[in-house]
Amino acid sequence: MTRWLCALAAALMLLAPLRARADFHIVSPYEIDLGELEIEHNGSRSFDARPGVGGQRSYTLELGTGLTPWWHSEIEFGFNNDPSIGQPTLLTQVVSENMIQLTEPGEAVADFGFYFEYGQTTTHGSYAAANEITFGPVIAKDIGHTTHTVNLFLTRQLGPDQTSQGLDFTFAWQSRWNLWAPLSPAVEIYGNPGTLGSTPGFYQQQLIAGPVAVGRLHLHDLGLGSAGQIKYELGWLFGVTQASPAGTLRWRLELEIPF
Amino acid sequence: MVTRTLVREALEAWLMATVGARRSGIERAAWRAPLLLAVLARAAARPRVRALASVSALLAAMLVGGQPARADDLPTLVFRQHRFVPDRIQVPAHVKFQLKVQNTDDSSDEFESVDLNREKLVGPGQTITVFLGPLDPGEYKFFGDFHQDTAQGVLVAK
């Protein structure tokens, strides 16, 4: 019954228009990394001729590991640069990210996880931002040689610098064709319709989607030891709505090494 | 047209599943629910209701797609001296199965397969269960992530 309620909720949410997350990263229920140290870098840059829409850059540096066979935890340092408000590249947030694997991969009809994070802002004055908590389900399913992953997250701002009093809904989807480990094609969608109950019209929301290359290289194959691997993602996301940047370049680089 | 296709696919999948194997009540319900949703979608007159039901049916079909019979009688895969024993294991195609992986070494290793989209740590002396399938016939490579130079194996689905 629970899984069907999740499916129905997902279907309802899919009907809603969406806009992009600031953090372009699909959370997977498969990556627990117990016994491994994960060093990860994410980055994105938006491109658009309109001031305030293009030129925004964000980067993260993350350290993570599996705390138990079903709990993956990371500490993330988030950096942002927004030329439209004259903001240089600043450490803007320190985030505790957690993914709880609810079902053993392959055991149920789909693979379920629950994600939650707490982001502590590090900026003050004119660049001040609110602290945030984000949580929601992570759903993945292997179908043949493809893997489909959906993130459905709600974010609540905390503290005196809130710009939103409600729950902000964000959405991310990745469908990947597992063609070849070093290079597999995928399609991603990132969206955020805004605060539940007061979402703007579709074209005032952000929605970006596009192709992404996903791959992994084993350090052993590169002659760099007998264990560990490098994972990467590189994609170009097109703006679907008027409020979205015309294009967004996103990348991810991850090193996994056992300890 | 989309609704009609969904109904047809759901019906086919449901018939295959029902005829093909014994199932629990939950599994049977999981198979029938997409069919029911699709039929409701077909019957619904309002476009928005129809769209909602179609999306629900599609998602439901995605979630339950590939729910197969099970095959549980398989040899245990063993990490021994940082190698897999056996290093080639045959499994039935088109069914779901559980693979036991035991680590007899004195250090941890990780059962990992890109082909199978699985990675799971196996501590020293531990035995884990990896849920796999249904697989198309073919060969699927797996390896020990912490000893990739020696721990390599192939799972053959027939």
pLDDT for the residue numbered B106: 94
**CA atoms A103, A104, A108, A109: torsion sign:** positive
* pLDDT tens digits, one per residue of A51-89: 878 888 999 999 999 999 999 999 999 998 887 777 788
Quote the CA–CA distance of A223 and B111 in Å, as a whole number. 21
Residue B97 sits at the vertex; the CA angle it makes with B67 and B59, to the nearest 5 degrees, is 25
**Phi/psi at B61 (5° precision):** -65, -35
Q: Please report, as a single letter, which amino acid is at residue B103.
A: N
Contact list in A for residue B108 (CB cut-off 8 A) is: 35, 258
Which residues of chain A fall below pLDDT 50?
1-22
Q: What percent of chain B has pLDDT over 90?
A: 46
Interchain pair B147, A147: CB under 8 A? no
B149 min Cα distance to partner chain A (Å): 6
pLDDT for the residue numbered B51: 52
What's the ipTM? 0.77
* pLDDT tens digits, one per residue of B80-129: 999 999 999 999 999 999 999 999 999 999 999 988 999 999 999 999 99
Mind listing the domains of chain B with CATH numbers?
2-64 (no CATH), 70-157 (2.60.40.420)
**pLDDT-based confidence at B22, cuts 50/70/90?**
very low
- CB atoms near residue A164 (< 10 Å): 15
Give Cα separations from B111 to A32, A38, A221, B122, B146 (angstroms): 13, 17, 17, 7, 9
Q: What CATH class does A2-258 carry? A: mainly beta
Q: Which residues contact A6 (CB under 8 A, 6 or more apart)?
A: A112, A137, A139
Is residue A162 within 8 A of residue A130, CB to CB? The reply is yes
Q: Which residue of B has its CA nearest to A258?
A: B146
Which residue, chain included where needed, has tokens 């709880």? A100
Contact list in B for residue A10 (CB cut-off 8 A) is: 59
Instruction: Report, as an integer, the average pLDDT of B69-76.
Output: 68
Q: Would you state the structure tokens that stand for residue B65, as one six-digit string?
A: 């797609």
A45 shares contact with chain B (CB less than 8 Å): no
pLDDT for the residue numbered A133: 96
Q: How many helices (H) and strands (E) does chain A have?
A: 1, 12
Angle between helices B25-43 and A2-14 (to 10 degrees): 30
Interchain pair B55, A227: CB under 8 A? no
